[in-house]
Amino acid sequence: MPNIDAFLIDFVTTDFESDSKIAKEVLIELQKVCNLDNHDSDFVLDSPMYRAGWYFAKLFLSKEFAKRLYNLNLNEIDNLKGKKFEDNFISWLSIKFKSKKCEAQLKTASEMK
């Protein structure tokens, strides 16, 4: 099992209102699957900064939330083709968002590298 810590993810989109709403709905559903109902500290999507037609925000996932997500979805996450665990985890989360029509782009925040 990889060493799992909290995640800080760049959340980039041209439609923050719609994509942030979808992302939060997906994350709330994942909280329920992880038996973390009503834990406001499991994830935070901060207010965006707007530049050149794009919204830039940070998405934080707590260490406990990330661990539970991994433990429940380790086969899906481990079978992705990224070189590092963090890349696979974020790719997996991006797939979850896109399946609900969230078009935000996710990547590991530079602060996490």
Please give the pLDDT value at position 98: 98
Give Cα 64 to chain centroid, integer Å: 13
pLDDT of 37: 75
Interval 48-83: pLDDT, tens: 999 999 999 999 999 999 999 999 999 999 999 888
Closest CA to 58 of 22, 23, 103: 23
* 49: three-class secondary structure by DSSP: strand
Does residue 6 register a pLDDT over 80?
yes
Three-class DSSP category at 33: helix
Spatial neighbors of 64 by CB under 8 A, at least 6 apart, are: 36, 42
The angle subtended at Cα 23 by Cα 19 and Cα 28, nearest 5°, is 150
Give the mean pLDDT of the chain.
94
Which tops the pLDDT comparison, 1 or 100? 100
Say how many residues make up the chain.
113
* Residue percentage of the chain with pLDDT more than 90: 87
Q: Name the residue with higher pLDDT: 73 or 37.
A: 73
Q: How confident is the model at residue 100 (pLDDT cuts 50, 70, 90)?
A: very high
Taking the model in full, what pTM does it have?
Answer: 0.93
Helix ranges (H only) for the chain are 16-33, 63-78, 85-99
Contact 107, 9 (CB under 8 A): yes
